[in-house]
Amino acid sequence: MWRALIRVSLRSHFRISVLRDRYLVRKEGIWEPLLALLFLLCLLPFGSLILLFYKGIYEGLKWAGQADAFPVLTTAAGLVGVFIFGFFHIIGTLYFAKDSEGSLSLPVTPAQVFGARMIGVWIEEVLLLALIFLPGLLVYGWSEELGFPYYASLIPTMVILPLLPLSLAAVLAMGLMRVTHLRRSRSYLRAIGPFLGILLILGFQVLIRGDWMKRMEDTKTLGTWLTAGGLTETISHWLPPATWVGELLRLPIGGGGGVAWLLFLGVSLPAAIGAVKLADWLYYQGLLGGTGGMGGKRTRADWRESVGKESWPLGAMFRKEWRMLFRTSAFLLQAILGVLVFPLMMFVPMWVSGNGAQDVADLQSLPFMEELLIWSGVGAIAFLTGVNGVSVSSISREGKQFALSKSLPVSPGQQVLAKWLLAMVFTLFVIGVVVAMQILVGGGAWVLLWTLLLGSAAGAGMAGVGIVINLMIPRLDWNTPQEAIRGGYNGLLMMMIQMVVAGLVALIVFLMKWLDVPDSLIYGSTFLLLLGGNYALYRGLGFLAGERYRKIEV
């Protein structure tokens, strides 16, 4: 029973059957794993940054004579990270996946279903720990020149570490879903994750701009700050497992390490078993809450008057796209957050630090302020259009309904144009945010005009590129809406293309500057160039849509 449940759960969680069917049976898109590998290689520089980050912290602690606190701090960060992100992951997996109710009719206990589903979450959290926190512990091992027993202990530690925070997060999630019976309001829970991310980013920004950062200007003061206030003692008090992990890694089995192992296992394993046992009382009740009845309001008596007037198919397709996006909370919040996250990151810390007026004065004193504002504004518009996920998920968002769209007597070119127009709505929103920021820092009419023209053209181009990417690599078999809107590798591919296009435009502008071409001519010719590119993209997209709509199967 357990084996069958776990096997099915893992196949669903990691899309094993889907991928096997795609790459091994139907042999479609076999270049996609290679693309994934390429992306992983592109992440290597990111990995070296993480190593440098940990090395800096280690050196600071070592200077303060507190090197042993390093694994405790790293483990504590890992435990907290798994708890926060695991909470939303668990809610998505247990309650909002399309197949979440599939097991209700099976002769299995809620605890068995819960346990099987949680194994997928557990594996993902172990992988996350391996990516983010393992480098820290490796840095510690190298720096302290620790032997084989340390590295041998790392693997079981990484595997067991998520059990306690995931168990606590699961109990919290089940408790929350047990008491919130209104399914409609629950849909917002699905989308809270990105907001939490934004809060973390803003908090980090505030920290950087605040006095605390002054203490972290070099590794020595960092070490003093981390230890002088008893931070390690505080962590040990509130998160004893972090201390146990620190000890079991550092100390030999006979010299305190064994006791630490016993404590670590003695808390983690019962926590996991306890969560599974609790699932028998909490899981199904929360899953079923609010599912009875129609859940909708009664239709108005005069509904016949709402039968609309005739309109163009393109308009109808656009309205359909609009409603599908705006009425799916996960889609909408991700799109809006994608637009707002960077402006917030720039401006909120400025307000928090109270140096806004001085920063603006410094900016205005620059001789090239206009150019800086225009090009940075255009760059921001193009970048945010790409990363908000609207264009790069435009096909994927349809999911199963893509088959219905294919059966409609509207050409693929028109259908894709409606998606492009919807993406442009968000580009206009981005333009509004950017222009407002330019006005705040004293940008004149000239700046606003060129930002508007160049930004619209660049944004339209990026939206078109996003749709091309999604046409080539659609994901229609998603289980939760977040999978569709976040885009996965498509988002990364988009960023890479953005970098290439930005590099090309920068090169052209640089050459014109070098040739002493007047600024207005540079802006004008760049605008014409972007318009030409967009026209070519429009024609190409229509053709590509015709080809891909025939080939993409649901």
Partner 1 sequence: MTVERGEIFGFLGPNGAGKTTTIKMVTGILEPDMGEIEVDGVSIIDHPVEAKRKIGYVPDGADPYPRLTGLEYLNFMADIYQVETDIRKQRIPEWVERFGMESVIGNLIDSYSRGMKQKISLIASMIHQPPVWILDEPMVGLDPRSSAILKEEMRRHSDRGDTVFFSTHVLEVAERLCDRLAILKEGRLVATGKLEQLRKGTGGDVADEQTLERLFLELTEG
Instruction: Name the residues that contact partner 1, by CB under 8 A.
Output: 294-300, 303-304, 306-313, 315-317, 319-320, 323-324, 327-328, 400-401, 403-404, 406-411, 550-551, 553-554
Q: How far is the CB of 39 from partner 1 (least distance, A)?
A: 31
Q: How far is the CB of 327 from partner 1 (least distance, A)?
A: 4
In the complex with partner 1, the residue whose CB is nearer, 27 or 309, is 309
Is 282 within 8 Å of 174 (Cβ atoms)?
yes
In the complex with partner 1, the residue whose CB is nearer, 220 or 323, is 323
Is 156 within 8 Å of 201 (Cβ atoms)?
no
Q: How far is the CB of 312 from partner 1 (least distance, A)?
A: 7
Instruction: Give Cα separations from 125 to 65, 158, 166 (angstroms).
Output: 32, 9, 9
In the complex with partner 1, the residue whose CB is nearer, 214 or 551, is 551
In the complex with partner 1, the residue whose CB is nearer, 363 or 421, is 421
Q: How far is the CB of 470 from partner 1 (least distance, A)?
A: 18
Q: 407: Cβ–Cβ under 8 A, 6 or more apart, which residues?
A: none
Q: Which tokens sit at 542?
A: 């229509």
Q: How far apart are CA 543 and CA 468, in angstroms?
A: 11
Q: How far is the CB of 483 from partner 1 (least distance, A)?
A: 16
In the complex with partner 1, the residue whose CB is nearer, 33 or 315, is 315
Q: How far apart are CA 234 and CA 59, in angstroms?
A: 21
DSSP code at position 306: G
Q: How far apart are CA 194 and CA 495, in angstroms?
A: 19
SS3 390: coil
Q: 430: Cβ–Cβ under 8 A, 6 or more apart, which residues?
A: 339, 380, 381, 384, 385, 388, 455, 459
Is 425 within 8 Å of 391 (Cβ atoms)?
no
In the complex with partner 1, the residue whose CB is nearer, 15 or 320, is 320
Q: How far is the CB of 194 from partner 1 (least distance, A)?
A: 20
Q: Which tokens sit at 326?
A: 């705006």
In the complex with partner 1, the residue whose CB is nearer, 105 or 365, is 105
Q: Which of 310, 417, 348, 315 is nearest to 199 (CA)?
A: 348
Q: How far is the CB of 481 from partner 1 (least distance, A)?
A: 10
In the complex with partner 1, the residue whose CB is nearer, 74 or 482, is 482
Q: How far is the CB of 322 from partner 1 (least distance, A)?
A: 10
Q: How far apart are CA 437 and CA 451, in angstroms?
A: 12
Q: How far is the CB of 17 from partner 1 (least distance, A)?
A: 18
In the complex with partner 1, the residue whose CB is nearer, 86 or 481, is 481
SS3 288: helix
Angle in degrees, 0-180, between the axes of helices 489-514 and 445-472, rounded to the nearest 10: 140
Q: How far is the CB of 280 from partner 1 (least distance, A)?
A: 30
In the complex with partner 1, the residue whose CB is nearer, 105 or 306, is 306
Q: How far apart are CA 434 and CA 378, in angstroms?
A: 9
E-assigned strands of 60-212? none
Exposed / middle / buried, residue 157 (Cβ in 10 Å: 0-12, 13-18, 19+): buried
Q: How far apart are CA 554 and CA 510, in angstroms?
A: 46
